[in-house]
Structure 1
Amino acid sequence: MDNQISLYIHIPFCQSKCYYCDFASYANKNDQMTAYVLALKEEIGRYGVLLQNYEINTIFIGGGTPTVLSPHLLRTILQSLFQNFKINTHAEITIESNPGTLELEKLEVLKECHINRLSMGLQAYQNNLLKDLGRIHTVEEFIQNYLLARSLGFDNINVDLMFSLPNQTLKNWMDTLKNVVLLNPEHISCYSLTIEENTPFGKWEEEGKIKLNDEETDRAMYHYAGWYLSKMGYRQYEISNFSKSGFLSRHNLVYWTYKPYIGIGLGAHSFYNGERYHNTYNLDQYIKAKGDLSTLKEDAEEISLSMQYAEYMFLGLRLLEGISIQKFNEKFKISFEEIFGKKVEKLIKLGLVESNKDIIKLTSKGLDVSNMVFAEFLPENE
């Protein structure tokens, strides 16, 4: 249906910034939380009017760490969403959280305000590695928060994990996966550490202070996750994501299947009416704007058709089921063969993608060099 859309809500606060993080987030800005939530409420109200004919299918509240907000502020945001939008009764509503921030009262507020999916950032099962990452929690706190959430009836929990960390061995990674699987979450995400420039890790790598895993170890960790999680009943449905049957991340599927979404909050990105834009990254400016969409909106660009074709391909190919040629033709009213036929032929010869008559998907070799495959679809003159 064309009248369905998804929402991403950004909460830019953390207790402490992890050494690898380059998201729009701040530690030690607790004094601005209330003003931020009031500005967020205003923006939610404006979008409520703009999207009054739309039904909301998925909501993802990310950050930062949304659960550093007080129970009162969390309730304010969630009630505002329900007051301003037509939210589908079966909508998936996710909130990100870090262990150590999920005490009983907060979890009760989340439950009462219709949060039905928790995404918990664990990253590793060894306290020394968590400390090396600048995480503020211990494994013990994660277990405590996880079991508390379960006892309150949260029955759709994702656990985020990272591999290829400095000082992490393959055995560490195997132990992390084994211990997380014992807790039986519905969904597990496994990301390879990426070093971003403007982060402590970026600086330390440049100074030679941290030693990263080589490509071979990184791939061994990735392949082990695929093999082990599959053996334990988790299906890999996207490059970094594994789920039990019926628990795929519906919100993330919106991104991968090239559907529209609106980002609300500091620096949040939107893809709507063939246009991409994001909100200001300046916290004071965001608060001062009081939800005025024209003041908040930055870098709006209309996406050319050739770029839309490319994005459809490399987002869709992240999914292990691949993309359908027929759906591509229907969406863009154009011949897939004409645009990408030669490129796909080349990638098939290289053993990076495979195709039956309708479906094109990455091979296991293609999964390992997915960025190289995606680059093939980029328009040459843009």
Structure 2
Amino acid sequence: MPKAVYIHIPFCEQICHYCDFNKFYIQYQPVDEYLTALYKEMQASFKRYSHNRIRTIFIGGGTPTALTAEQLDHLMNWIHELLDMRHIEEFTVEANPDNLTADKLSVLKNAHVNRLSIGVQTFQEDLLKKIGRTHTNEVVFKALKRAKKYGFDNLSIDLIYGLPGQSIKDFKKTLETALSLDLQHYSSYSLILEPKTVFYNLWRKGKLTLPPQEEEAAMYEMLMEKMEQKGFHQYEISNFACKGYESKHNLTYWNNEEYFGFGAGAHSYVNGVRRANIGPLKKYITSIERSGYAYLEEHEVTLAEKMEEQLFLGLRKTEGVSFNMFEQKFAKPLYSVFGEQIEAQKKKGLLFEKDGYIFLTHKGKLLGNEVFQAFLSVLNN
């Protein structure tokens, strides 16, 4: 039974050069019609499936705060109408620093949003322009100060390393600035060149120079070191938090638990079925108006796939995967299914076993995708 709700707002006031999420430049888009379709989709799904265990809500994008304050207010009212907010433990909204205005913060606070995830990416202003961002450092500082003034005390920012032209020294300065801001949570990811993005097309043409792999690895090691020095717990490969401020919503994904996903291009996992929604706006809206749903793909997850997902998602967490939990969930000992793969990764120094858990070593964090692939290959074989 789903414990989380994800709502996708695919509109942006600028398109970042690295982003491959389903998004559209907001000008001239049918925003109000889209929000109405979202409401109808949520309404239809909550009639079809039990939703009394929902504990977290995450509104992502795109840029949810690209909506006007009035549009945000409509969305919040519909969420409150459809869900029992008394049981919601964490309500997160993604935001850009340059549109986190006082009127929007007021709407979010009144709707009981209690966590903000703000896209900063870097504090190197020349690099911000190169990656398609429009804010400045001063805008970030003012947005954070304003959010705190409105009573938000669970604030997270996103950072990216391995950006074009970024040096280890540059990333160190970004980290030092980020860690001076009195925040509760940080997410930091290496740049991935995704097809159909501006950066990918430039790279294909030989017009994009990225830091060498060894420098990117050095940035990640520095990230882990600096976060630990400042008392932030690394609870997932790319996420660091003060104690008690870990993202409950994202832990739903890494614990391989079920969730609702609403909106154009959104994904969901309900009653053992993974679904992907139609991406194009007009097709999404038309499908919702016709049936209340906008499924593009549906896949019933097999037992073998569930076990594999438990490993490669669970190993993203620094606490790793519990032997007891795995056996309780699947009625099979972990070693009886993945013993050969676990031993192989342990011999490489990528996995470690302790107190009934397996988890990534320091080296394993640097080579996480290699470890995950080892467990995915079981199904292929």
Task: Provide the TM-score with structure 2 as the length reference.
Answer: 0.97
Segments of structure 2 that go 5 or more residues without pairing to the other structure are none
Residue range with higher mean Cα deviation, 73-82 or 112-121: 73-82
**What is the distance in 2 between the residues matched to 1:4 and 1:39?**
21
The amino acid of 1:279's aligned partner reads N
**What is the distance in 2 between the residues matched to 1:380 and 1:331?**
18
Residues 1:348 and 2:343 aligned together: no
Q: 1:380 to 1:37 in 2, by over 3 A?
A: closer
Give SS of 1:290's match.
Answer: helix
> What is the Cα deviation at residue 126 of structure 1?
1.3
Give SS of 1:55's match.
Answer: coil
Residues 1:251 and 2:249 aligned together: yes
Q: 1:147 to 1:331 in 2, by over 3 A?
A: same
Show structure 1 runs of 4+ deviating over 3 A. 28-31, 87-90, 290-295
Query: Is the 8 Å Cα contact of residues 13 and 64 (structure 1) preserved in structure 2?
Result: yes
The root-mean-square deviation of aligned C-alpha atoms, in Å, is: 1.4
Query: Is the 8 Å Cα contact of residues 163 and 210 (structure 2) preserved in structure 1?
Result: yes
Residues 1:20 and 2:18 aligned together: yes
Query: Is the 8 Å Cα contact of residues 164 and 210 (structure 2) preserved in structure 1?
Result: yes
Give SS of 1:60's match.
Answer: strand
> What is the Cα deviation at residue 107 of structure 1?
0.5
Give the equivalent residue in structure 2 for 1:141: 139
**What is the distance in 1 between the residues matched to 2:200 and 2:16?**
12
Give the equivalent residue in structure 2 for 1:200: 198
Give the equivalent residue in structure 2 for 1:230: 228
Give the equivalent residue in structure 2 for 1:271: 269
Query: Is the 8 Å Cα contact of residues 321 and 359 (structure 2) preserved in structure 1?
Result: yes
Give SS of 1:377's match.
Answer: helix
Q: Which of residues 267, 276, 285 is equivalent to 1:287?
A: 285
Equivalent pairs: percent with the same residue?
38
Give the equivalent residue in structure 1 for 2:380: 381
Give the equivalent residue in structure 2 for 1:72: 70
**What is the distance in 1 between the residues matched to 2:187 and 2:115?**
14
**What is the distance in 1 between the residues matched to 2:80 and 2:36?**
16
Query: Is the 8 Å Cα contact of residues 2 and 260 (structure 2) preserved in structure 1?
Result: no
Give SS of 2:183's match.
Answer: coil
**What is the distance in 1 between the residues matched to 2:221 and 2:26?**
39
> What is the Cα deviation at residue 290 of structure 1?
3.4
**What is the distance in 2 between the residues matched to 1:171 and 1:30?**
41
Q: Which of residues 53, 56, 63 is equivalent to 1:55?
A: 53
Segments of structure 1 that go 5 or more residues without pairing to the other structure are none
Query: Is the 8 Å Cα contact of residues 322 and 362 (structure 1) preserved in structure 2?
Result: yes
The amino acid of 1:49's aligned partner reads K
Query: Is the 8 Å Cα contact of residues 261 and 271 (structure 1) preserved in structure 2?
Result: yes
Query: Is the 8 Å Cα contact of residues 122 and 159 (structure 1) preserved in structure 2?
Result: yes
Q: Which of residues 11, 32, 35 is equivalent to 2:33?
A: 35
Give the equivalent residue in structure 2 for 1:334: 332
> What is the Cα deviation at residue 4 of structure 1?
5.2
> What is the Cα deviation at residue 71 of structure 1?
0.8
Task: Provide the TM-score with structure 1 as the length reference.
Answer: 0.96
Count of aligned pairs between the two proteins: 380
The amino acid of 2:5's aligned partner reads L
Give the equivalent residue in structure 1 for 2:154: 156
